[in-house]
Structure 1
């Protein structure tokens, strides 16, 4: 049984291997249609359970920026229908889901104070989608769950002393050794993709640094990075600054090609 399960896991990993937009090897076991179904169901539930902002000017502003970012996505994403909803929520947050869905919390508009800063966030969130990070996380969760179940069975069959304590330790090891660092790698990758997207759309990439300075000043990222799913703001800023020269060149090219966003609130 143990060999059979290991063989199944190995086959699943081999079949699900893909390459992210930045060249990172990833495991994505679910189809695009399955992920879109999950995204559609999640977004519908959010719209039912959370208040939606109906201010015409606010929605026009957010949609203007989202449209500019979506226009520079790879064709398979740029050509699909996207739904953008502004939620009444004080948290400085936004998200994007497989299937073509973007949510923006009104609290974010107090931190992202201009079109370029909001484009930073939307580029980042859409970056998660085109890099299939949701697929990776669901796939990873499935594999870890199966591995822990296998370990529990093996310990029980071997009548190992303190097996409950060992399994608890394995669970913590998976959380802090795999899941959280993996999430930080997703966030860093989405930062890179988002920086490229906003620059290609004609937004000022230097404002991405200002955004994270605003986030830091507002208290975001106060959790120690070791226990966080997100890199510390200072680390994000350093990474963005290291990529800034290329992003500025991309923006210059975009502006020369007539991409000059003028989204105002």
Structure 2
């Protein structure tokens, strides 16, 4: 099947998550490319934060967030099926924003406000960390970019089948949105919720904390979304789904406790 026909079929049909990722790769947004774009953006974030003295590398909040990052990282590496080894990096930014995000290749950004304003426990910090790591491990940004590219194609404003270079350029433009761009779909958020539960449990954190985290999020939002909630929608159905997955996570947590 030629590329033009494939794109036409994708644009006119319901596309699976894996299909969106495949389309993104066809447009030049492959794993290595996205990870490189994310690294460049992450480095710019670090440079800007240093220049503004907003990069936190020593506070108690930084130490707690970094501890969760370090503890979860080896288990995240075990789960990496992308075929590309991640260079995990963490930036903690001094800000009242209630926000955190991840970019491809394992570039995690936490704002101190999400810890201080929600009064998070260490396990609740790990719940956010696990959730974000799963987004990176399952390459949800690639799927998001593929879905957006398909939408643009269907509207006649995006990729062109005329040349691969043009497609790659469009994918690169979409890649600029990774990490802090368009919200993930509800299905991808659900996958990150479930995977994050299991990841934090493997690392020895009580998975119940993921539920208390989102309860705090809901209370904090007060009817208006924070920056974090704008891309991580919280609702009763979502919390209920986590409750349903909790027994499996608790079993993993108990096994990890025995090993430790």
Q: Distance in 2 between matches of 1:188 and 1:45?
A: 30
State which structure, 1 or 2, has the greater radius of gyration over its C-alpha atoms.
1
2:77/2:86 contact within 8 Å kept: no
Name the structure 2 match of 1:37. 36
1:202/1:254 contact within 8 Å kept: yes
Question: Any residues of structure 2 matched to 1:31-110 within 5 Å, and which?
Answer: 31-50=30-49, 51-75=54-78, 77=80, 80-110=86-116
Could you say what secondary structure the match of 2:221 adopts? coil
The alpha carbon displacement at 1:68 in A equals: 1.3
Find 2:239's aligned residue among 234, 237, 240.
237
The alpha carbon displacement at 1:49 in A equals: 3.4
Q: For residues 179-234 of structure 1, give each alpha carbon's deviation from its aligned partner in whole angstroms, at most 9, with x where no partner exists.
A: 86x622211111111011001111000111111111111116746xxxx6544332
The alpha carbon displacement at 1:91 in A equals: 1.5
2:98/2:111 contact within 8 Å kept: yes
Name the structure 2 match of 1:154. none
2:18/2:143 contact within 8 Å kept: no
Name the structure 1 match of 2:254. 252
Q: Distance in 1 between matches of 2:4 and 2:129?
A: 39
The alpha carbon displacement at 1:81 in A equals: 3.0
Structure 1 stretch displaced more, 90-99 or 114-123: 90-99
1:95/1:125 contact within 8 Å kept: yes
Q: How many residues align?
A: 215
Structure 1 stretch displaced more, 195-204 or 108-117: 108-117
Could you say what secondary structure the match of 1:72 adopts? helix
Name the structure 2 match of 1:129. 136
User: For the structure 1 residues 236 and 200, does the alpha-carbon distance in structure 2 shift closer, same or farther, using more than 3 Å as the test?
Assistant: same
User: For the structure 1 residues 190 and 76, does the alpha-carbon distance in structure 2 shift closer, same or farther, using more than 3 Å as the test?
Assistant: closer
Q: Where in structure 1 do 4 or more consecutive aligned residues deviate above 4 Å?
A: 10-13, 76-79
2:95/2:112 contact within 8 Å kept: yes
Instruction: Choose between structure 1 and 2 for higher RCO, CA contacts under 8 A separated by at least 6 residues.
Output: 2
Find 2:213's aligned residue among 211, 216, 219.
211
1:53/1:86 contact within 8 Å kept: yes
Name the structure 2 match of 1:193. 195
User: For the structure 1 residues 112 and 40, does the alpha-carbon distance in structure 2 shift closer, same or farther, using more than 3 Å as the test?
Assistant: farther
Name the structure 1 match of 2:7. 9
Name the structure 2 match of 1:262. none
2:99/2:113 contact within 8 Å kept: yes
Q: For residues 17-49 of structure 1, give each alpha carbon's deviation from its aligned partner in whole angstroms, at most 9, with x where no partner exists.
A: 99xxxxx64421232111101211221222233
> Is residue 142 of structure 1 aligned with residue 149 of structure 2?
yes
1:183/1:229 contact within 8 Å kept: no
